[in-house]
Amino acid sequence: MAATAIAIVRSRKLFAAVMLSGIFSLIAAVFYVHLTAVDVAFTEAAVGAGISTLLFLATLALTHTSTEEPHKPVRPLPLLIVVVTGAVLIYGTLDMPAYGDPEAPPNTHVIPRYINESGTEVGVPNIVTSVLASYRGYDTLGETVVIFTAGIGVLVLLGRGRRRWRPGLKSKNEDDEPGRGAEA
Amino acid sequence: MNVLGLFNYWIVVILMMAGFYVVIAQENMIKKLVGLNVFQVAVFVFYISMSKIDGATAPILGDEFEVYANPLPHVLILTAIVVGVATTALGLALIVRIRDAYDTVEDDEIQRIEETEA
């Protein structure tokens, strides 16, 4: 996974970078299965690796971007910022609970109740589903509001005003919009 | 201290910094968004790796299982993935619009155009 990330940083072709980000998402999904987060893996594979890559490719097609970038040397100031931030974050991890520790703070608070009671209280065997739809239902409502707003934003940005500007791109626009409806 | 137990956090930090570097060092806006996605996935991996418990199964109730992974981070990240795609779509729409107005998606070229117009 780290190798793919570094390949993305180093790749000069835009198309390659987009494809690598799809591969990156897919590897992340496999990793989630290993971490027993099957629902997340499913979503990541479908949404992260599928729809995101599709959207990026649609943008590449719409903007007709030249795929070959001139070679740029490693820039010292951003690299310095990144290295310093990374070092501070790694220093911060020294206080974190160890991987897989059942006594870690995130695993000891509300979670036992979800695990013990959700079967009788909600009646769905999948705990993730019952937490998502029942205990944290408002979260999910907020999520749909965000997606709705984003959908409206996309429609406004790529909507009628744009077509008046560039009648040549009209048909491409219309191809693009149904995909956005499906993702909500 | 168990250094190997922190290895997952270090991977997350490396991924995060790779994404961060792309966001601040690249001029191409589409590349910047790819970097943002990498950063985002790093945060997801961070959360999910916190929910891992040794010997636990996926959080789906069954009679033969005793230990389950922590379901709460899974729920949060499920929401975050979908919201992340929504924001990516919005960013890409903005890029399409910027390219309409300036005929380029390179940050430095837009800066140059702005300066010559001003």
CATH of the domain at B18: 1.10.287.3510
Q: In terms of pLDDT, which residue wins out, B92 or A6?
A: B92
Mean pLDDT for B59-86 is 80
Residue A9 has pLDDT above 80, yes or no: no
Reported ipTM: the value is 0.79
Which of A21, A37, A62 is the closest to B48 by Cβ?
A37
Interface of B with A in 28-57 (CB under 8 A): 28, 30-31, 33-35, 37-38, 41, 44-45, 48-54, 56-57
Q: Quote the CA–CA distance of A28 and A22 in Å, as a whole number.
A: 10
Residue A41 has pLDDT above 80, yes or no: yes
Domain count, chain B: 1
Write down the domain spans for chain A. 1-96, 136-184
Residue A36 has pLDDT above 80, yes or no: no
Residue whose entry in the numeric block shows the structure tokens 């205990």: A135
Residue A72 has pLDDT above 80, yes or no: no
Cα torsion B62, B43, A48, B79 to 10°: value is 60
Q: Which domain holds residue B29?
A: 8-52+69-117
CB–CB contact B59 A99 (8 Å): no
Distance from CA of A6 to the nearest CA of B (A): 7
Span A122-174, pLDDT tens digits = 777 777 777 777 777 888 888 889 889 988 888 888 876 555 555 444 444 44
Q: Which two tokens stand for residue B20?
A: 């961060």
Q: What is the pTM of this model?
A: 0.78
Whether B14 is covered by a domain: the verdict is yes
Whether B32 is covered by a domain: the verdict is yes
Whether B17 is covered by a domain: the verdict is yes
Q: What is the mean pLDDT of chain A?
A: 73
A25 touches chain B (CB under 8 A): yes
Residues of B in contact with A19 (CB under 8 A): none
Mean pLDDT for A63-91 is 74
Which of A55, A72, A86 is the closest to B92 by Cβ?
A55
Q: What is the pLDDT of residue A96?
A: 74
Whether B61 is covered by a domain: the verdict is no
SS3 B58: coil
